[in-house]
């Protein structure tokens, strides 16, 4: 059968869909599909998924004049369709999407066997709505909502299925995109929407599971939202920022930490807030998973706990900063994108370092926020190679929080905290309280002009991302000149992912553009900057909050 015969009975757009699905199966296998549709999974994670799943089919939705037209289109590829079966899931999805009764959308499933690239038996799966409403056909051909690639698994237990789904929606960064149970085949289908590099027409993944799995299906459907709803949630992200800042700033988190289960009226009395307004805030915070109902009152969740001042690793200063000065300047992000210049400088009239240093209250807020972030790196001291080392120099080390952790983990070391004079004075009480002041030299200075020499270990924590490449090169040359030949340099920074792997770094890269004038960088980018300064990047270790500890030596 020739393509011209198929063209005479099947709409050209539908014929292209069928042809594309056949080609996809013949050029892919399970490994290639997972790499294309779920690129954010690590190799080990893809192996784990492939151990339970096989490539089953590529699916398209078409609108033929009759089912014989599909037989003709498939015959052109020398494959034969099996008898059609009624569709349940796609019919329901079409009905919901277009506001039509499902009974008016008699969707059939037509399948034909085709070997995958590795010879594995697979199928092309064609959902066919014969003589469907013209407006439905036009919309679906344009959007290709139902086109997908399927992995099959089962029989399988609920725990394993839950784990597979968690891999795809967690590290795989795929979103739940509906699903259902087809009683005609006794099968459960879970749809996932992804951003892989396969053809746009096959950007969705189906997990086809033998048997009925109502609990997993219910959990999957509960997380399914349409694109407009997802976009609306993104658009309200600024509201979440302000809700968290208010929770920290008004003492709400502190009260809930001190008295879990506090009723809204009691909480309002202790925080000086309006009872009705506070109740509405708490309801939104519960939606954000920051608080939870506790009896007749409320308590902080694990997510909300760091908003309290008394938390072991409190992020309250960050919440206040992000919801205050940085929130204001982020409103000018468009200026930064248009000009490439810093919105903070444009909005406040000064670079943020100068602006915060100009007033003691502002300086204290900024230094507290930086210290809150540094407190997350307590394990750094145990990751450093301190064999034979005597002195560690923290370049631009803020209030000394990171240096204190390194000294506590390595009692044989002395420390040098190199910072602005005003910041050193704020660091002194904390180092004294930790019993470390006698082991530290507090050296004032500017790391863009000089760095103390004679150290065995040098630290640059969250310094380089504040600067452009030219200034970074200057700072790194200062460090290289100060470091003895045997010395090690350790850099703490977020790394931009080399692939699509999920990371906080892209968001902070935008923050650096808008508020600071610096940027986040990839591992290779740092390697290039270091090499230009006569230094060599030799490895990295992962840290909390998507940070990395980079190990650097003389080149």
**Residue 123 shares a structural domain with residue 262:** no
Q: Are 93 and 143 a contacting pair, CB within 8 Å?
A: no
Residues 198, 192: Cα–Cα separation, whole Å: 14
Q: Report the run of H or E that residue 149 belongs to, with start and end.
A: strand 148-153
Residue among 28, 77, 202, 465 flagged as catalytic:
465
Q: Are residues 23 and 120 in the same domain?
A: yes
pLDDT of residue 501: 58
Q: Give the confidence band of 198 by pLDDT, cuts at 50, 70, 90.
A: very low
pLDDT in tens, 283-342: 999 999 999 999 899 999 999 999 999 998 899 999 999 999 999 999 999 999 999 999
**Stretch 162-182: mean pLDDT:** 89
Residue 421: is it exposed, middle or buried by C-beta count within 10 angstroms (0-12/13-18/19+)? exposed
| 524 token code pair | 């290779």
250 and 344 part of one domain: no
Give me the pLDDT at residue 96, please.
Answer: 85
Burial class (CB in 10 A: 0-12, 13-18, 19+), 449: exposed
Looking at per-residue pLDDT, the higher value among 327 and 231 belongs to 327
* pLDDT band at residue 502 under the 50/70/90 scheme: low
**505 vs 154, residue with greater confidence:** 505
Whether residue 230 lies inside any domain: the answer is no
The more confidently predicted of residues 459 and 379 is: 459
Structural domain includes residue 534: yes
Range of the domain at 176: 12-224
pLDDT band at 500 (very low <50, low <70, confident <90, very high): low
Contacts of 522 (CB under 8 A, 6+ apart): 495, 496, 497, 498
Say if 2 falls within a structural domain: no
Q: Is the pLDDT of residue 245 over 80?
A: yes
Both 78 and 183 in one domain: the answer is: yes
Query: How do strand 204-210 and strand 187-193 relate by DSSP bridges?
Result: antiparallel
The rounded mean pLDDT for the chain is 90
Same domain, 201 and 62: yes
Residues 416 and 343 in one domain: no
Q: Is the pLDDT of residue 523 over 90?
A: yes
Flag whether 5 is in a domain: no
DSSP 445: -
Question: Residue 3: inside a domain, yes or no?
Answer: no
Pairing type for strands 121-129 and 107-115 reads antiparallel
In the chain, % of residues over pLDDT 70: 96
Burial of 545 (0-12, 13-18, 19+ CB in 10 A): exposed
**242 in Cβ contact with 313 (< 8 Å):** no
What is the per-residue pLDDT across 539-551, written as a single tens digit (0 to 9) for each?
999 888 889 999 9
The two tokens of residue 223 are 């997380």
Residue 7 in domain: no
Report whether pLDDT(527) > 80: yes
* 465 assigned to active site: yes
As for how many domains the chain has, the answer is: 4
Claim to verify: residue 390 and residue 494 sit in the same structural domain: yes
User: Would you place residue 143 in the very low, low, confident or very high pLDDT band (cuts 50, 70, 90)?
Assistant: confident
Q: What is the DSSP string of 41-54?
A: S-HHHHHHHHTT-E
Give 258-287 pLDDT, tens digit per residue: 999 999 999 999 999 999 999 999 999 999
Same domain, 21 and 153: yes
| Last residue within a domain, chosen from 224, 249, 279 | 224
Which range among 86-90, 468-472, 522-526 shows the weakest confidence by mean pLDDT? 86-90
pLDDT at 199 over 50: no
Same domain, 105 and 201: yes
**Residue count of the chain:** 555
501 and 520 housed in the same domain: yes
**What does the pLDDT average to over 215-244?**
87
Starting at the edge strand that comes first in sequence, how are the strands of the sheet with 85-86 ordered?
85-86, 107-115, 121-129, 54-62, 148-153, 204-210, 187-193, 175-182
Residue 231 within a domain:
no
Asked if pLDDT for residue 486 goes beyond 50, the answer is yes
If asked whether residues 292 and 279 sit together in one domain, one would say yes
**Which pLDDT score is estimated for 349?**
96
pLDDT at 93 over 90: no
Identify the residue with better confidence: 407 or 43. Answer: 407
Give the residue-averaged pLDDT of 73-80. 89
CATH (domain of 441): 3.40.50.150
pLDDT classification of 499: cutoffs 50, 70, 90? low
Predicted pLDDT of residue 89: 84
Confidence of residue 376 (pLDDT cuts 50, 70, 90): low
Cα 69 to chain centroid distance, Å, stands at: 45
Q: Rg (Cα) of the chain, in Å, rounded? A: 29
The domain boundary residue, chosen from 224, 258, 285 = 224
Instruction: Give the β-pairing of 187-193 and 175-182.
Output: antiparallel
Mean pLDDT of 157-163: 92
Band (202; pLDDT cuts 50, 70, 90): low
Do 349 and 475 lie in a common domain? no
Write down the pLDDT at residue 307: 96
Q: Which residue among 370, 397, 426 closes a domain?
A: 370
The DSSP string of 158-171 is: HHHHHHHHHHHHTT
């Amino acid at each position: 059968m020739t393509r011209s015969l198929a063209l005479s009975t099947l709409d050209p757009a539908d014929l292209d869909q069928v042809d594309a699905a056949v080609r996809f199966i013949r050029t892919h296998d399970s490994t290639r599909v997972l790499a294309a549709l779920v690129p954010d999974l690590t190799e080990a994670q893809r192996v784990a998924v492939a151990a339970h799943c096989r490539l089953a089919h590529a699916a398209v939705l078409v609108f033929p004049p009759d089912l014989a037209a599909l037989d003709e289109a498939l015959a052109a590829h020398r494959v034969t369709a099996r008898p059609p079966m009624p569709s349940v899931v796609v019919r329901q999805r079409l009905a919901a999407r277009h506001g039509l009764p499902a009974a008016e959308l008699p969707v059939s499933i037509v399948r034909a066997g085709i070997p995958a690239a590795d010879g594995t038996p697979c199928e092309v799966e064609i959902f066919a709505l014969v003589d469907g409403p013209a407006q439905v056909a036009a919309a679906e051909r344009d959007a290709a909502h139902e086109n997908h690639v399927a992995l099959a698994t089962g029989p399988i237990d609920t725990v394993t299925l839950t784990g597979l789904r968690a891999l795809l929606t967690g590290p795989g960064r795929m979103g739940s995109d509906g699903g259902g149970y087809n009683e005609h085949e006794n099968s459960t289908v879970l749809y996932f929407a992804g951003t892989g590099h396969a053809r746009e027409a096959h950007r969705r993944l189906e997990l086809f599971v033998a048997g009925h799995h109502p609990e997993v299906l219910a959990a999957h459907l509960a997380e399914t939202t349409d694109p407009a709803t997802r976009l609306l949630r993104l658009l309200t992200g600024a509201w979440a920022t302000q809700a968290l800042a208010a929770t920290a700033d008004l003492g709400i988190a502190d009260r809930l930490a001190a008295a879990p289960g506090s009723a809204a009226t009691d909480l309002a009395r202790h925080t000086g807030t309006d009872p009705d307004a506070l109740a509405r805030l708490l309801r939104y915070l519960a939606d954000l998973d920051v608080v939870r109902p506790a009896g007749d009152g409320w308590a902080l969740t694990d997510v909300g706990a760091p908003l309290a001042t008394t938390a072991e690793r409190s992020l309250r200063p960050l919440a206040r900063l992000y919801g205050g000065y940085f929130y204001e300047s982020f409103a000018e992000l468009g200026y930064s994108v248009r000009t490439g210049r810093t919105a903070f400088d444009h909005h406040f009239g000064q670079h943020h370092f100068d602006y915060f240093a100009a007033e003691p209250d502002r300086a204290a807020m900024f230094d507290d926020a930086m210290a809150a972030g540094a407190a997350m790196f307590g394990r750094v001291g145990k990751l450093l190679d301190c064999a034979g080392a005597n002195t560690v120099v923290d370049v631009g080390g803020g209030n000394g929080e990171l240096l204190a952790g390194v000294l506590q983990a390595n009692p044989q070391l002395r420390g040098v905290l190199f910072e602005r004079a005003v910041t050193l004075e704020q660091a002194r009480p904390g180092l004294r309280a930790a019993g470390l002041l006698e082991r530290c030299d507090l050296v004032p200075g500017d790391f863009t002009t000089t760095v103390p020499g004679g150290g065995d270990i040098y630290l640059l924590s969250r310094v380089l991302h504040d600067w452009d490449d030219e200034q970074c090169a200057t700072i790194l040359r200062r460090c290289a000149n100060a470091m003895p030949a045997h010395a090690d340099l350790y850099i703490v920074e977020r790394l931009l992912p080399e692939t699509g792997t999920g990371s906080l770094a892209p968001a902070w890269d935008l923050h650096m553009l808008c508020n600071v004038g610096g940027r986040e960088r990839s591992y290779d980018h740092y390697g290039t900057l270091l090499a230009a300064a006569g230094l060599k990047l030799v490895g990295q270790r992962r840290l909390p909050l998507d940070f990395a500890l980079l190990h650097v030596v003389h080149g």
